[in-house]
Chains A and B, each alone.
Chain A
Amino acid sequence: GAVVSQHPSWVICKSGTSVKIECRSLDFQATTMFWYRQFPKQSLMLMATSNEGSKATYEQGVEKDKFLINHASLTLSTLTVTSAHPEDSSFYICSARPSKGANVLTFGAGSRLTVL
């Protein structure tokens, strides 16, 4: 079945640094990937929709300059948290929709970011 790999699974960084999270579709092509953020014991909040070869579409309230998304190929989307602060600490999850087939999302295992 469809597999989405997310890396790194855990990352700790100092305040002010930037962190890049990768999301790869391993056995299918994904023209669309979604980035979600999850706070402890809460549901997933959509941050942005990443489209291959074009600019990402950000949800209201999400700073596009802070959360840079790049979807340069059909199998890779990256989320870069720039100048991270402690309030950016969260669980980030990506998901991908196969370019063909049923409307089902496959999720990555998530990346836990802790900003000190």
Chain B
Amino acid sequence: AQSVTQLDSQVPVFEEAPVELRCNYSSSVSVYLFWYVQYPNQGLQLLLKYLSGSTLVKGINGFEAEFNKSQTSFHLRKPSVHISDTAEYFCAVSPRNSGNTPLVFGKGTRLSVIA
């Protein structure tokens, strides 16, 4: 089984400052990793994913994440945030070659960007 831990439930940050949202996972098998963003009253939008290859993954809206296998982490970063980045961010994991296995989500981190 897999589990995901997002250590920070809320992260306030000033506009144009950098931000890092932390994600650690636990799994006995190799996994795929994802970050999703959810704006109020909306579904989830894929920010980025790690399937294989380079451990530094670039996504939409200037976000990037780095897969660290030894630390079982997949932290999300952005060098300069905007007000529009205020949202809930979910880290998720799925076993490789999982067939019909659904994603397992972390509890989410609410990013609040302050003007």
**Which A positions have Cβ atoms within 8 angstroms of B?**
4, 6, 32, 34, 41-44, 46, 49, 51, 91, 93, 95, 97, 102-110, 112
Q: Is B45 an interface residue (CB 8 A)?
A: yes
Residue of A nearest to B90 (CB): A43
In the assembled complex, the Cα of A105 lies from the Cα of B34 at a distance in Å of: 10
Query: Could you tell me which B residues sit within 8 Å of A by CB distance?
Result: 32, 34, 36, 41-46, 49, 51, 90, 94, 96-98, 100, 102-103, 105-108, 110
Q: Is the CB of B106 within 8 A of A43?
A: yes
Note all chain B residues with C-beta closer than 8 A to A105. Answer: 34, 46, 102-103
Known: A49-B102, A102-B51. A107 touches B36 (CB 8 A): yes
A49 and B41 alpha carbons, distance in the complex (Å):
23
Partner of B43, one of A41, A51, A109: A109
Cα distance A91–B90 in the bound complex, in angstroms: 16
How far, in Å, is B40 (CB) from chain A's closest CB? 11
Question: How far apart are A99's CB and chain B's nearest CB, in angstroms?
Answer: 11
Closest CB-CB distance, B53 to chain A, in whole Å? 12
A contact residues around B42 at 8 Å (CB): 109-110
Is A107 within 8 A of B34, CB to CB?
no
CB-based contact B100/A49 at 8 Å: yes
Enumerate chain B residues within 8 angstroms of A103, measured Cβ to Cβ: 32, 51, 94, 96-98
On whether A44 and B51 interact (CB within 8 A), knowing A49-B102, A103-B98, A109-B43, the answer reads no
Tell me, rounded to whole Å, the shortest Cβ–Cβ distance linking B10 to chain A: 10
Known: A43-B106, A102-B51, A108-B43. 14 other contacts (CB 8 A): A6-B43, A32-B100, A34-B102, A43-B90, A43-B108, A44-B90, A49-B102, A103-B97, A103-B98, A104-B34, A105-B103, A107-B43, A109-B42, A110-B41
